[in-house]
Structure 1
């Protein structure tokens, strides 16, 4: 044993290996696009960015289990352990050995014809009158002179089993390691326990040194396959197991506990082992009072557990409770890094650990890659970079919807006299646009590299040429008026409205940088918002749809850009029910007051006089709203679009692009097909 101990000590102090937790090491990095889309949608619905991220991690994504699913599986495993097992396995095994020993002894007494009748009668009487209690019967036979060698072996096995089980409770794996226990093994165990207790008591007094631990492990390291590196790690390991053993005893009935207490004196044939273990438990409880020493569980199954197995199951239950809390992420300062992937793999398997690891990497990537940041108050929010990424995703979705509705025709208004759009396309016969030299040369190099046989040919071929696109464009002043009244939230239009605003904002900032967009939200009153404010806006119960105030702000925006083409886009699901008085106070009335209507109409006519191209996006089927919007559009020579919620973004973008086409061509277009705007579509290359 000493030789094995020395070997183990060398291994534990010079090399420590752990299972790789990262799943497939060749797997691609986590894709943030889906996560960002889901998180962004939650933010637009009124969630904080922190909560939105937590919700995504809880629910998971495409083909990926979330924390809720992992937590459910943890709960199911915990319930299965309790419903499958019972804790009297050691008592049942001892009773079987005792019954077999007594039966074999009775057979031997009946076969032994040379035995004195008086001795036979005394022995049979003693066996017949054994106490009903297993522990009392075992103690009663302590000095019995066995005549059957098989019976004697079974009785001795009871003592060895008790010793192995008691040790297995505190040191996992000892039951199997000491299956063929010898006197030398018992002596080694006793010496280890005595030295261990001395070390722990010395540590409790603050008198131990690192050398004391080194000496102990050099001598007894074979008993500790976990390979603790210092006395605190040793205590942590032992305390968890010892606390689990105590919880197992707490979970037993009073009769079962009493039986084990009385039987423990017979472990390895003397009470010394039980005394050493009691001393160990006392030291560990004093050193680690934070462990759960008083808990208990209710087992309702029919599969018996031995003392060591039971302690292992109680430890599993404690691990599952820890995992359940970690996976809930409901405590202050919770992070995915808190999840113990080793425990998760042991309890649920490697796939569960890989799912949790992927979610952890996703959280890290969201924080690390500039997607989320904390503001001055410490709240988590989407960064401008994240908003751009989210807006790009929305534009792609809008482009698909427009292409499906209108076909795949690309419309380009390119000319040598126009502004460079930043996009390129393959040269076609008759093109007069300037060559894009870097792209053209790069195409030639790529072609020659891909076709070695043509390496000696021309550097530039006809198919390599790309020309720089230009756009005949004028500047536009765009005002998007978004209804933020509570009815938008009630009828499921809140998120589509925000997604539309973000898509339009992204399109203008990325493809039409010369245009000036102003976002105006209007409920009981109106206000100019930046895109971060609008997307994070929470719905509030405040009566009023103040289109008049919104139009005042829009017209002010148009007047600030006298040389730009005004474009007015109004998204609403209700008639105007409030207006702004001259003193700045808001007046509300439902049904709409004639004064509110008059004020609103006056500002719409002002927009028309400023040359604005006006489009109403009417949401819902309210007949009175339809009549009002239709009459207003007719009055100001505007248009009315009545899209479904999911089509709102495509309708607004289509209208904006159509207004720009009117500016470029001198007339008002219907929008046409704009899904291929530029070489890279709405979102560029």
Structure 2
């Protein structure tokens, strides 16, 4: 390709093209851990999004920042800004006027001083009384006119965002332009309220007065939305003031720009917007307790920010029906928390989409969310990978990539890895080298390590494996629940991918025992029930072994308690604690029955209960197996290692 066919430009929005890909492995690990601890897949996904991942803040952290910002706004500010500034300007005007009158001995000067002395104490009333006063001091006149301009600017800023800056240098014609815009705006809104077709009128209005609306609304509905949100914020600000402050400010607004008609237009605008958007929040209030005073326009913006923060908190909570992360207003989040928070929210939404797009989550017939078979395979792969890492020190047991060390070719090949001793598949190795060389445009064909493929072999002997796992409440209570499930996942993945001719049965036992598939075991919730019915589990294990008479029988038991329940001939589970002789006899009878089938029974004992230790020693002696007492971190490697040891001993 020639250089002139490429075009480069600035990146404005959307996913960062240079951002690292979403780490689904970490997310799936977190999902699997929560599911195995008893959460539903939906709850686990929600928890993952709330918690976030490494390098990405979760919804809880973003919500915390929102509430922190909300609290900071209320702690830092108060709403006395406009009243305080007007009082300061009024005091400056009165002081300048008295200074100008003092040297004048005339009766007119004394009369004027008397007028100033008789002003009412309230700021709004004093400003109103001085509306017709003929100022002697130019400085006093300028200060008083500044009061009227400031009131006008604050009034406009409270209803039209950005207006205050546009009106910093007021001229008489500017006041007339604002009055004309307000009149046209109210006519437009009244027509829309009546149900008239206002499209053409809106277009004319925007051509004439568009400079007052930096939001650049495209329709009359967008215009109404922007105005109503701002007006409602201004009303909530007024609601947040004391009754005295509210009365003073309302009276002052009548002097905005020295023209009471403008305040009337604003009142009409508010009434129209209330009728058009009754669903806006016009009635609530907030408490401001800080020292930094806010003007009318700044106060309206603070109330708008608080409303936006509340809306964002609701979106991040995802607690309403049909909630999705795509609902989060990223522009609002950027305004309130900055670019970093926006990136985090976007990556969380992308993570949720990818989990669904990669078919790691699926819906069952009842609409509930489940981990898909693909997700279970990945969880099993991760669990097996951890187990293999723990077996590194034992060369004969670590390399689960071997399908059989001294077997026959399966017909399959795989890429060579360090430590492999299988013969090369010469034809596929040469083919890989030719293809790689041709794609690179090189001349001579040279074999690289990456080209080598080896022949996969397997043993023809089969094993029938029964993994019996204790699901009594003590396993949950003593934090053995997840290690037990990860062990089952690792063994299931090893057998289903490396030793496909072996038959695995997963058997759970509490008060009763049952044979389950890996999906059900992974999602199994801990239930408070009394009983460790190993007798029933061994009955099911024996049934599995008899269904595979040509396979070598292997029984693996993971438990943290001696048997406290057994099954009667009528199917009733009888519980007794401490264990009765009948329960122990029936359990050991099943161990003897398994020994007659040639089964190797290995017990993985969790905990240090002396009575349990005595019982499992007896089981190992009578079942021709052994007892392993691993810690929780080593449970998986102990079970998988024993399975591999048993296969090699055949």
Say if 1:589 and 1:437 are closer, same or farther in 2 by CA, change over 3 A. same
Equivalent position SS for 2:508:
strand
Alignment match, 1:660: 647
Equivalent position SS for 1:524:
coil
Alignment match, 2:127: 138
Alignment match, 1:577: 564
- Paired with 1:428 and 1:568, the residues of 2 have a C-alpha distance of 30
Q: Relative contact order, CA 8 A, sep 6+: which one is greater?
A: 1
Say if 1:388 and 1:359 are closer, same or farther in 2 by CA, change over 3 A. same
Alignment match, 1:89: 81
Equivalent position SS for 1:141:
helix
The question of whether the paired residues in 2 share the 8 Å contact of 1:415 and 1:469 is answered with: no
Equivalent position SS for 1:575:
coil
Say whether 1:123 aligns with 2:112: yes
The question of whether the paired residues in 2 share the 8 Å contact of 1:421 and 1:471 is answered with: no
After the TM superposition, which residues 76-115 of structure 1 pair with which residues of structure 2 at under 5 Å, given as runs? Answer: 76-111=68-103, 113=104
2:425 is aligned, of 426, 431, 435, to 435
Say whether 1:264 aligns with 2:253: yes
Alignment match, 1:419: 410
- Paired with 1:432 and 1:652, the residues of 2 have a C-alpha distance of 26
Say if 1:422 and 1:600 are closer, same or farther in 2 by CA, change over 3 A. farther
- Paired with 2:102 and 2:373, the residues of 1 have a C-alpha distance of 94
The question of whether the paired residues in 2 share the 8 Å contact of 1:160 and 1:267 is answered with: yes
Alignment match, 1:11: none
Offset from partner CA, 1:310-368 (integer Å, 9 cap, x none): 00000000011111111122233322112111111111111011111111111111122
Offset from partner CA, 1:17-59 (integer Å, 9 cap, x none): 996253x321132111001101111001110000011111111
Say if 1:242 and 1:18 are closer, same or farther in 2 by CA, change over 3 A. farther
Say whether 1:482 aligns with 2:469: yes
Say if 1:424 and 1:262 are closer, same or farther in 2 by CA, change over 3 A. closer
The question of whether the paired residues in 1 share the 8 Å contact of 2:397 and 2:644 is answered with: no
Q: 1:441, CA displacement in angstroms?
A: 2.4
Q: 1:288, CA displacement in angstroms?
A: 0.7
Q: 1:147, CA displacement in angstroms?
A: 1.3
Alignment match, 1:3: none
The question of whether the paired residues in 1 share the 8 Å contact of 2:361 and 2:370 is answered with: yes
Alignment match, 2:43: 51
Alignment match, 1:393: 382
2:499 is aligned, of 512, 516, 520, to 512
The question of whether the paired residues in 2 share the 8 Å contact of 1:425 and 1:468 is answered with: no
Q: 1:129, CA displacement in angstroms?
A: 2.6
Offset from partner CA, 1:107-150 (integer Å, 9 cap, x none): 22235x5xx61011111122223221111111111111111111
Alignment match, 1:20: 13
- Paired with 1:310 and 1:545, the residues of 2 have a C-alpha distance of 66
Say whether 1:533 aligns with 2:525: no
Q: 1:280, CA displacement in angstroms?
A: 0.4
Equivalent position SS for 1:512:
coil
Say whether 1:590 aligns with 2:583: no
Q: 1:266, CA displacement in angstroms?
A: 0.8
Q: 1:272, CA displacement in angstroms?
A: 0.5
After the TM superposition, which residues 76-225 of structure 1 pair with which residues of structure 2 at under 5 Å, given as runs? Answer: 76-111=68-103, 113=104, 117-225=106-214
Equivalent position SS for 1:457:
coil
- Paired with 2:612 and 2:81, the residues of 1 have a C-alpha distance of 76
- Paired with 1:389 and 1:564, the residues of 2 have a C-alpha distance of 28
Q: 1:409, CA displacement in angstroms?
A: 7.1
Say if 1:374 and 1:427 are closer, same or farther in 2 by CA, change over 3 A. closer
Say if 1:181 and 1:543 are closer, same or farther in 2 by CA, change over 3 A. same
Q: 1:516, CA displacement in angstroms?
A: 1.1
Say if 1:351 and 1:404 are closer, same or farther in 2 by CA, change over 3 A. farther
- Paired with 2:450 and 2:32, the residues of 1 have a C-alpha distance of 41
Say if 1:399 and 1:516 are closer, same or farther in 2 by CA, change over 3 A. same
Say if 1:110 and 1:571 are closer, same or farther in 2 by CA, change over 3 A. same
Q: Which moved more, 1:435-444 or 1:643-652?
A: 435-444
Gaps of 5+ in 1: 1-16, 664-685
- Paired with 2:448 and 2:107, the residues of 1 have a C-alpha distance of 119
After the TM superposition, which residues 198-347 of structure 1 pair with which residues of structure 2 at under 5 Å, given as runs? Answer: 198-347=187-336
Say whether 1:544 aligns with 2:531: yes
Say whether 1:616 aligns with 2:603: yes
Say if 1:404 and 1:265 are closer, same or farther in 2 by CA, change over 3 A. farther
Alignment match, 1:35: 27
TM-score (norm 1): 0.89
Equivalent position SS for 1:130:
coil
Say if 1:87 and 1:142 are closer, same or farther in 2 by CA, change over 3 A. same
Q: 1:94, CA displacement in angstroms?
A: 0.8
- Paired with 2:397 and 2:529, the residues of 1 have a C-alpha distance of 44
Say if 1:184 and 1:629 are closer, same or farther in 2 by CA, change over 3 A. same
Q: 1:459, CA displacement in angstroms?
A: 5.0
- Paired with 1:240 and 1:134, the residues of 2 have a C-alpha distance of 30
1:65 is aligned, of 57, 68, 72, to 57
Alignment match, 1:363: 352
The size of the alignment, in residue pairs, is 639
- Paired with 1:462 and 1:160, the residues of 2 have a C-alpha distance of 81
Say whether 1:502 aligns with 2:475: no
- Paired with 2:282 and 2:97, the residues of 1 have a C-alpha distance of 42
Q: 1:151, CA displacement in angstroms?
A: 1.0
Alignment match, 1:667: none
Offset from partner CA, 1:553-594 (integer Å, 9 cap, x none): 111111111111111111111111111111111111111111
Equivalent position SS for 1:142:
helix
Say if 1:407 and 1:345 are closer, same or farther in 2 by CA, change over 3 A. farther
The question of whether the paired residues in 2 share the 8 Å contact of 1:21 and 1:354 is answered with: no
Say if 1:104 and 1:462 are closer, same or farther in 2 by CA, change over 3 A. closer
